[in-house]
Chains A and B, each alone.
Chain A
Amino acid sequence: MRRFALIAVPYLWLLALFLVPFVIVLKISLSDSALAIPPYLPTLDLKAGWSGITEFFSQLDFENFVWLTEDDLYWKAYLSSLKIALVSTVLTLAVGFPIAYGMARAPQHWRATLLLLVILPFWTSFLIRVYSWMGILSQEGYLNQFLMGIGLINEPLIILNTNVAVYIGIVYTYLPFMILPIYSALEKLDESLLEAAEDLGCSRMSAFWLVTVPLSKQGIIAGSFLVFIPTLGEFVIPSLLGGSKTLMIGKILWEEFFSNRDWPVASAVAVILLLILVIPIILFQRNEQKQREAEG
Chain B
Amino acid sequence: MAIDEFAPWEDPEAKPIIQFKNVTKRFGDFVAIDDLTVDIYEKEFFALLGPSGCGKTTMMRMLAGFETPTEGTILLSGKDIAPVPPNKRAVNMMFQSYALFPHLSIWDNIAFGLRRDNLPKNDVKDRVEEMLRLTRMEKFARRKPHQVSGGQRQRVALARSLAKAPKLLLLDEPLGALDKKLRQDTQFELMDIQEKTGTTFVIVTHDQEEAMTVASRIAVMDNGKIIQVSTPDAIYETPNSTYVADFIGEVNIIEGKATSVGEKLSMAWAEGQPEIVGTPTTEFEKGQSVHFAIRPEKVSISAEKPETANAVQGKILDIAYLGNISTYHVELPGGQIIKAQAANNRRLSRRSFTWEDNVWLGWTDTAGVLLGR
Q: Which residues of B contact A197 (CB under 8 A)?
A: 101, 112
Tell which of A47-55, A187-195, A245-253, A255-263 binds the partner. A187-195
Q: How far is the CB of A205 from chain B (nearest CB, A)?
A: 11
Contact indicator A200/B102 (Cβ below 8 Å): no
Report the separation of the CA atoms of residues A217 and B86 in the bound assembly, to the nearest whole angstrom: 26
**Closest B residue by C-beta to A200:** B113
- A214 CB-CB contact with B under 8 Å: yes
B87 touches A201 (CB 8 A): yes
Interface centre among B87, B96, B102, by most chain A C-beta atoms within 10 angstroms, is B87
Q: Which residues of A contact B93 (CB under 8 A)?
A: 195-196, 199
- Contact call A201/B117, Cβ cutoff below 8 A: yes
Q: List chain A residues, Cβ under 8 A from B161.
A: 199
Q: Flag whether B103 is at the interface (Cβ < 8 A).
A: yes
Interface size on B, as a range, is 20 to 34
What are the interface flags for A208-229 relative to B under an 8 Å C-beta threshold, 1 for contact and 0 otherwise? 0011001101000000000000
Determine whether the beta carbon of A195 is less than 8 Å from that of B103. no
Q: With both chains docked as a complex, state the minimum distance between the C-beta of B344 and any C-beta of chain A, in angstroms.
A: 45
Q: Which of B99, B113, B117 is the most central at the interface, judged by chain A CB atoms within 10 Å of its CB?
A: B99
Number of A-B contacts (CB under 8 A): 57
- Given A199-B92, A201-B117, A190–B87 Cβ distance below 8 Å? no
Neighbouring B residues of A198 by C-beta, 8 Å: 65-66, 85-87
Q: Find the residue from A193, A199, A217 having the highest chain B CB count within 10 A.
A: A199
> 1/0 per position for B136-180, CB-CB distance to A under 8 A?
000000000000000000000000110010000000000000000
A192 touches B87 (CB 8 A): no
User: Any chain A CB within 8 A of the CB of B95?
Assistant: yes
Tell me how far the C-beta of A292 lies from the nearest C-beta in chain B, rounded to whole angstroms. 14
Which of chain B's residues have a CB closer than 8 A to the CB of A196?
93, 95, 99-101
Q: Does B116 sit at the interface, judged by CB under 8 A?
A: yes
- Interface of chain B, main secondary structure: loop
Is residue A203 within 8 Å, beta carbon to beta carbon, of the partner chain? yes
B95 contacts A215, C-beta separation under 8 Å? no
The total of chain A residues at the interface (CB under 8 A) is: 18
A59 contacts chain B at the CB level, 8 A cutoff: no
A210 to B103, CA, bound (A): 10
Q: Which residues of A contact B117 (CB under 8 A)?
A: 201
Query: Taking the complex as formed, is A236 at the interface, i.e. its CB lies under 8 A from any CB of chain B?
Result: no
Bound together, the chains give a CA A206 to CA B115 distance in angstroms of: 12
Given contacts A193-B101, A215-B102, contact A200 B95 (CB under 8 A): no
Do A214 and B103 touch across chains, with their CB atoms under 8 A apart? Answer: yes
Q: CB of B97 within 8 A of chain A?
A: yes
Known: A195-B66, A215-B102. A200 touches B112 (CB 8 A): yes
Would A192 and B102 count as touching, CB distance under 8 A?
Answer: no
Taking CB atoms, residues of chain B closer than 8 Å to A195 are 64, 66, 86, 93, 95, 99
Is A240 on the interface with B (CB-CB < 8 A)?
no
Is A202's CB within 8 Å of the partner chain B? yes
Q: Which residues on B sit within 8 Å (CB–CB) of A190?
A: 97, 99
Given A190-B97, A192-B95, A192-B97: A199 touches B64 (CB 8 Å cut-off): yes
Chain B residues whose C-beta falls within 8 Å of the C-beta of A200 in the assembled complex: 87, 92, 112-113, 116, 160, 164
Can you give 8 contacting A-B residue pairs, CB < 8 Å?
A195-B66, A195-B95, A195-B99, A199-B93, A200-B92, A201-B116, A206-B116, A214-B103
List the 7 shortest-distance A-B pairs measured between CB atoms, nearest first: A201-B116, A200-B113, A196-B99, A192-B99, A198-B86, A214-B103, A199-B93
Which A residues have a C-beta under 8 Å from some C-beta of B? 190, 192-193, 195-203, 206, 210-211, 214-215, 217
- Residues in chain B within 8 A of chain A (CB atoms): 64-66, 85-87, 91-93, 95-97, 99-103, 112-113, 116-117, 160-161, 164
